[in-house]
Amino acid sequence: MEIHTFFIILLAILLSARILGELAARLGAPPVIGELAAGVLLGPSLLGWVEPAPVIRLLAEIGIILLLFEVGLETDLQRLAKTGFKPVMVAFAGVALPFAGGFGVAYSLFGLDLLVALFIGGTLTATSIGITVRVLTDLNRHRSHEAQVVLGAAVLDDVMGVILLALLYEFSKGGGISLTNTGKVVLFIALFMVLAPLAAKLIAEIINRFERRSQIPGLLPSTVVSLVLFFAWLSHAVGAPELIGGFAAGLALSRRFVMPMAIAIRTNEDFAHRVEEQMKPISHLFTPIFFVVVGLSLNFREIDWTSSFVWLFSTALFIVALLGKLAAGFVIKEPLFNRIAIGLAMTPRGEVGLIFAELGRSSGILSGEIYAALILVVALTTLLPPFALKYFYSRPSATTT
């Protein structure tokens, strides 16, 4: 890509995200909806000005990882731990129920092939952690108890999604599924999730010491971004999604991070503050790119609006996609309000659903019509829950619970 073309595309992305985000806020919608809409507007669905070129996709990836880093920074590990096994249960139910529902609709109701039905079920398991977290932040509920449950569940869901995707992919290649391999991956990821924050904490301490003695300004942005990139890379290396690495690094640098077993490296409040201060502008710059790219990837032109199959099939899938995630909020003991909030927050499929659908199509498993129906389901589950959550939280009863 030519440099000046790149500049003008990046400009269009940043500016449209900001303008439509502000507009959404004025109209009472969550700003993230404005950013997604900016992508739909600029992309193939409407104007067709911008396509998600590789460079833009890479910047978007940095954006989502930095967003998860920010989320980690603001996460209180002790509060997260207090939710106990609830996130695990929500995540399992939120994967199993939509998978079963999607598979059932496709296999039994519409009589599709086994592999096709498995991919459709897989697509419905996804939770877009980015959109989930952004909506809760936009509504200023990200520190609430139910948000902690959602955060834990969404992280686990992302991990399960990657494993499921790998399994389906192996299965589709006719290689059969190796449970030993899967077990190994699960073990690696579990180890990573426990050890990564500890390792990141040690590295952060080194950065802190160097910063005090550095003679050149600007040490924090480059070293902290390096740290985040390293853990994202490491996360990928053990088979987990990259953004988990960003989350682990953020947790470690959070001012509320506590080491287990009381081998406490005291959290340096001042250092944590400087990291937050200097990383905020960087993540504010990059994260909108991610949401715009999700919007760019939702191509509504690929949907044949005259096909009754697309309408019927996507309606059926949307119902199980919504009910499956909503039901996941009901497998734990919580007040009704929290159960609904958790279920709604887990509903957006976003980019994770698109990855499933895309892989299914590119490997020739999903036909154009089925792919189109899935895109529609992903779009509906991504765009509607933010409105529903916003409405739900603005009801008078929301403040009392």
Positions that interact with its own copies (CB under 8 A)? 1, 3-4, 6-8, 10-11, 14-15, 17-18, 21-22, 25-26, 31, 54-55, 57-58, 61, 138, 210, 214-223, 225-226, 229-230, 232-233, 236-237, 242, 278-282, 284-285, 288
Shortest Cβ 158–its own copies spacing (Å): 15
Name the residue among 296, 309, 277 with its Cα closest to residue 373.
Answer: 309
> Which residue lies nearer to its own copies by CB, 106 or 253?
253
Q: Which is nearer to its own copies, 21 or 250 (CB)?
A: 21
Q: For residue 124, count CB atoms less than 10 angstroms from its CB and return exposed for 0-12, middle for 13-18, buried for 19 or more.
A: buried
Q: Based on CB atoms, which residue is closest to its own copies, 282 or 346?
A: 282
Of the pair 18, 255, the CB lying nearest its own copies is at 18
Angle 57-62-64 from CA coordinates, rounded to 5°: 90
Residue with tokens 């916003």: 390
Distance CA 47, CA 62 (A): 26
For residue 222, the minimal CB distance to its own copies (Å) is 5
Q: 10 vs 115, which CB is nearer to its own copies? A: 10
CA distance 254 to 73: 4
Q: Is the dihedral of CA 194, 198, 203, 207 positive or negative?
A: positive
How near is the Cβ of 223 to its own copies at its closest, in Å? Answer: 6
State in angstroms the smallest separation of the CB of 383 from its own copies. 18
Question: Least separation, in Å, of the C-beta of 213 and its own copies?
Answer: 9
Least distance in angstroms from the C-beta of 337 to its own copies: 25
CB of 217 to its own copies, least distance (A): 7
CA proximity to 314, closest of 164, 95, 102, 168: 102
Count the Cβ atoms, other than its own, within 10 Å of residue 276.
15
Is the Cβ of residue 21 or residue 329 nearer to its own copies in the bound state?
A: 21
Closer by beta carbon to its own copies, 69 or else 318? 69
Q: Using alpha carbons only, give the angle 199, 61, 201 rounded to the nearest 5 degrees.
A: 15
Best CA proximity match to 233, nearest among 51, 20, 62, 47: 62
As a whole number of angstroms, the longest Cα–Cα distance in the chain is 68
Q: How far is the CB of 311 from its own copies (least distance, A)?
A: 35
Per-residue b or e along 63-95, where b marks 16 or more CB atoms closer than 10 Å to that residue's CB: bbbbbbbbbbbbbbbeebeebeebbebbbbbbb
Residue with smaller CB distance to its own copies, 64 or 193: 64
